[in-house]
């Protein structure tokens, strides 16, 4: 760790604090009042209740399959990225020479480059775990929905079954979103390969951009136009 300069440490700590702090605030703190995830969570629960009341659930199964395909795609993509990062770690000397030729590139050492590549690797390992866990949870949602009784065999809503499917659906969506968030916060680490100032600035920009997309974007406003009655 002696290879890290003062600016590297400042940028790395700032990046970690912003990511963890934003995640805690957005998922558990004050951001729960009005956000993309909260609005979609309400609709996930409404979806599972309507699926219970439907006679033909082919559409619901198709939607769950589509969500599983998205999680599968990102899981596979993350594996490819990890393969590329391991390749970089295996050719660190040549990679250092390439980076030195980039505009605005700061002077670096092989040890420092290894630390940067390892940090990126850890972030994408985290993303891979989130995406694969999301995939498994969506699979469980499909199983629970498949266990719903037919309209001929039930007289009233089974709140326990609906709650199970809703909770699993919401957890799967949350894990998928956290995997995507890891992709966003990998960008500052990527530009850190060039210059530590880019890590510091990138962490701030990505946090602000993520906040805008999840709380202030036109997508959120569109979802909340008719979401108040769902609360």
Q: What is the pLDDT of residues 166-209, one digit of tens each?
A: 999 999 999 999 999 999 999 999 988 888 899 999 999 999 99
Task: With a cut of 50, say whether residue 230 has pLDDT above it.
Answer: no
Q: What pLDDT score was predicted for residue 123?
A: 97
SS3 readout for the chain? CCCCCHHHHHHHHHHHHHHHHHHHHHHHCHHHHCCHHHHHHHHHHHHHHHHHHCCCCHHHHHHHHHHHHHHHHHHHHHHHHHHHHHHHHHCHHHHHHHHHCCCCCCCCCHHHHHHHHHHHHHHHHHHHHHHHHHHHHHHHHHHHHHCCCCHHHCCCCCHHHHHHHHHHHHHHHHHHHHHHHHHHHHHHHHHHCCCHHHHHHHHHHHHHHHHHHHHHCHHHHHHHCCCHHHC
- Give the pTM: 0.87
- Say whether pLDDT at 102 is over 90: no
Q: What is the pLDDT of residues 47-99, one digit of tens each?
A: 999 999 888 889 999 999 999 999 999 999 999 999 988 888 777 666 555 55
């Amino acid at each position: 760790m002696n290879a890290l300069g003062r600016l590297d440490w400042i940028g790395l700590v700032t990046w970690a604090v912003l990511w963890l702090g934003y995640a805690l605030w957005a998922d558990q703190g004050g951001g729960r009042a009005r956000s993309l995830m909260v609005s979609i969570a309400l609709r996930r629960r409404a979806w599972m209740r309507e699926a219970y009341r439907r006679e033909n659930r082919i559409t619901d199964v198709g939607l769950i399959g589509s969500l599983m395909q998205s999680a599968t795609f990102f899981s596979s993509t993350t594996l490819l990225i990890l393969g590329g990062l391991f390749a970089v770690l295996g050719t660190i000397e040549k990679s250092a020479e390439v980076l030195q030729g980039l505009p605005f590139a700061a002077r670096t050492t092989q040890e420092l480059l290894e630390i940067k590549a390892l940090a990126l690797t850890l972030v994408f390992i985290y993303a891979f775990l989130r995406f694969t866990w999301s995939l498994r949870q969506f699979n469980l949602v499909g199983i629970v929905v498949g266990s719903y009784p037919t309209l001929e065999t039930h007289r009233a809503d089974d709140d326990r079954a609906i709650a199970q499917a809703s909770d699993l659906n919401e957890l799967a969506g949350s894990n998928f979103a956290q995997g995507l968030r890891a992709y966003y916060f990998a960008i500052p680490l990527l530009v850190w390969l060039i210059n530590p100032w880019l890590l510091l600035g990138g962490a701030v920009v990505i946090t602000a951009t993520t906040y805008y997309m999840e709380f202030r974007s036109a997508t959120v406003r569109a979802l909340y136009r008719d979401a108040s009655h769902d609360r």
